[in-house]
Amino acid sequence: IYIKAEADRIQMEIKLEKQATIQNNPTRLLKTLRNKISSTKIKGGNLFICGNTIYDDPCHIAELFNEHFTTTHTVENHIDGNEPITPLPCEIREITFTIENITKAITTLKHSNALGPDGIPANVLKYGGADFHLALLKLFTISLPTACYPTLWKTTCVIPKFKSGPVGNIENYRPINLTSVVSRAMEKIIKVELLRYLLKNELLSPSQHGFLKTRS
């Protein structure tokens, strides 16, 4: 047990040292990310079966996946968007972005080389260093006050994730939604400020337990 623990410790030290070296070397960082991204492939072959028909055209296969995933989607109950809104006595005047809360938001992102709509994987932000955080600070600070939210931040890439069974059967896949990690980092910061505002002004129903600490 001791030998295994010591081996794990040494392996972790090597990994951290390697990450630090990569972060301080932009060229090596980009090379490493390219290798990781190029090695990320979706399971499956070139032929897919739907019903009794075999398909090999990529565009046709994409349409089949779209139709299949649509049938697995749950339609929400109708919500009347015309209900009158009662003005609140208080408001959020501003949300402040800082290097600290941006760094914290990026830290909570899962390690991934999967590409979102903007082509930026989470590991670029996690290992990109302080320059990336500073760039995001400038971007977020401009975006929110001007109400300018890039289209790619509002776009989702849906990719098929293989479950089990024959890889050529479309029914053996489930949809995975990939959104912009830059957008997610910004939303994490906004969520913290918004939740603080809601709790402080007692705007949440006492009956709500989901997505709240100590309640769910």
pLDDT tens-digit profile, the chain (216 residues): 444 454 555 556 556 556 655 556 666 655 655 565 444 444 445 678 777 777 888 888 888 888 888 887 766 666 565 666 676 777 777 899 999 999 999 999 999 888 889 999 999 898 888 888 999 999 999 999 898 999 999 999 888 888 888 888 888 899 999 999 999 999 999 999 999 888 888 888 777 778 787 776
Whether residues 19 and 102 share a domain: the answer is: no
Q: What is the spatial distance between Cα 203 and Cα 74, in angstroms, rounded to a whole number?
A: 28
What does R_g of the chain's alpha carbons equal in angstroms? 22
Q: Tell me if the pTM is above 0.75.
A: no
What is the identity of the amino acid at 215? R
Whether residues 94 and 197 share a domain: the answer is: yes
Parallel, antiparallel or unpaired: strands 173-178 and 48-50:
unpaired
On whether residue 75 sits in a domain, the answer given is no
Q: What is the spatial distance between Cα 130 and Cα 122, in angstroms, rounded to a whole number?
A: 15
On whether residue 81 sits in a domain, the answer given is no
Q: Which two tokens stand for residue 155?
A: 């776009």
On whether residue 209 sits in a domain, the answer given is no
Domain assignment of residue 139, given as a range: 90-201
On whether residue 64 sits in a domain, the answer given is no
On whether residue 53 sits in a domain, the answer given is no
- Residue 6 to residues 1, 10, 12, 13, 150: CA-CA distances in angstroms? 9, 6, 10, 11, 48
Whether residues 6 and 96 share a domain: the answer is: no
Whether residues 23 and 102 share a domain: the answer is: no
Whether residues 22 and 115 share a domain: the answer is: no
On whether residue 133 sits in a domain, the answer given is yes
Cβ count near 97 (within 10 Å): 22
Tally of domains in the chain: 2
Whether residues 94 and 181 share a domain: the answer is: yes
Whether residues 15 and 94 share a domain: the answer is: no
On whether residue 37 sits in a domain, the answer given is no
Whether residues 24 and 119 share a domain: the answer is: no
Residues 6 or more apart whose CB falls under 8 angstroms from that of 40 comprise 113, 114
φ/ψ of residue 92, rounded to 5: -85, 110
What is the number of residues in the chain?
216
Whether residues 98 and 13 share a domain: the answer is: no
Whether residues 94 and 22 share a domain: the answer is: no
On whether residue 153 sits in a domain, the answer given is yes
Residues 6 or more apart whose CB falls under 8 angstroms from that of 187 comprise none
